[in-house]
Structure 1
Amino acid sequence: MKKHLELSHIGIDFPTPKGPFTALKDVNLVIAKGEFVSLIGHSGCGKSTVLNIVAGLYQATTGGVLLENQEVNEPGPERAVVFQNHSLLPWLSVYKNVELAVKQTRKGRSKQAIKEWVQHNLNLVHMTHASDKLPSEISGGMKQRVGIARALSMEPKVLLMDEPFGALDALTRAHLQDSVMEIHASLGNTVIMITHDVDEAVLLSDRIVMMTNGPQATIGEVLDIDLPRPRNRIALADNPIYNRYRHDVLRFLYEKQKKIEPVKSAKHSSPMQSGSSSKSNAA
């Protein structure tokens, strides 16, 4: 695999009154250009911390991150983040929210070039019809589409997504998952996504990185998803390979959950119950 993004021996400590708390320890991962990687694990396993280190928002205590052999030590437009909360500026229109990012990253371009680029990215997420609307005038799913358009408009080398569909209803979530697959197929961009949803991880990913529980969380297993693209969720529902991948992730999560929480009943011990709980937490 040709290295595009490399996490090498990442560890991070946070100060507490009782001394340093080691959130992550010895996280190693190499991601190829154009790869879609999902991070999954129980709450508190350090998924968002890993993402924030790649984004340059946190500095690792040990180890480091290389993007195209350049050390990552601060935020930069080559690593755009899409948060669970859309984070749009409420006083700016849909168009202006995306334009603001474009003006910051494509300085020196003509007004016409900026306009065309903003429209292009809104078109990628099917939001050109709402260009003049304020965030308060559009739905949660539409706001998240604008957040994705804003991130893509920066032409990042890596798109970082922190549970981007977690606050959405199931139908809107499915539509946005399809949009992200369509955009990824079109642009071939490198994506790291945090999710609690097993089905989402298997549907979207080339690899699923499963994190162990904290403290001192690290990568427990990495699962290669060898499913042809484009992927259709309906067709995959009865696909034995898809269901085997889904089972492998559920097994990992269930086994890790048993180690941190006593099993009180047969109902709580079901791996299918664990999987549905993951999705309800993310919804």
Structure 2
Amino acid sequence: MSDAAAVIDDLREESGELDELVRGLRDEQWAAPTPAPGWTVAHQIAHLIWTDEVALLAATDPEGFGPEVRKALDAPDTFVDVAARAIVDETPPQALLARWRAGRERMQEVLRSAPAGTRIPWYGPPMSVPSMATARLMETWAHGQDIADALGVTRAPTARLRHVARIGTRARDYAYTVRGLPVPEEEFRVELHVPDGGSIAYGPQDAAQRVTGPLLDFCLLVTRRAHRDDLAVRATGPDADRWLDIAQAFAGPPGAGRASRAEGPGAPGAGPAPRAGGR
């Protein structure tokens, strides 16, 4: 479980950083709109609450998790929004924060104590404990980005972003499949520059098609929190270039994505990013 423990440690740190960002907010700041249409800062935290609690249910009561999957099948495009709105409607901001803290701590404890080889049922294929923890970290970071954007805060990138990049790279084929596009036969090489001057890489070193750029920019791209035109991510090869238009690190409908700065927030068909994960 050493791999899982390391990811869970990073998830705890990522959650703690977001906690620091929201713990002192006034009520009107909790109600501030974020780039997701109709979602306030409170809705973003409510979504994290809901996903943590559903992940805990899946890990501790697989049979009880079954009805949650049926809810998703019955309303695939709205069930996440409905859940987040219900939590916000019934929970004032400070209680919302307390509920998020309690839920994420319990969920992390259960993941940390799970036996090696555990598979957790989810909305797609069952997930290993490291994969579930990585998905929770990715989602925490992505929703934290929405909150930071709403509050006008610039967050410093951390080494934890390597988990987000790994999911984004592994989800390459899904990005094509969810759009009904043929999946490229050849693998891509992804080389990303990290803040300390090093780099991380995925895929064959001799791959003809390549993606390069800063780690932060790639993570913003694959969580659809920024438009590719505003990022320093570059592609070599037609398939790799197409991927930069459709990449997503989360399951579910891709959404329209963010508008570029040149297009502006009101550009047709260029809405904010969908909620990461949760599907």
**TM-score of the superposed pair, with normalisation by structure 2:** 0.28
Q: Which has the higher strand share?
A: 1
Q: Which has the higher helix share?
A: 2
**TM-score of the superposed pair, with normalisation by structure 1:** 0.27
| Higher RCO (CA < 8 A, seq sep 6+) | 1
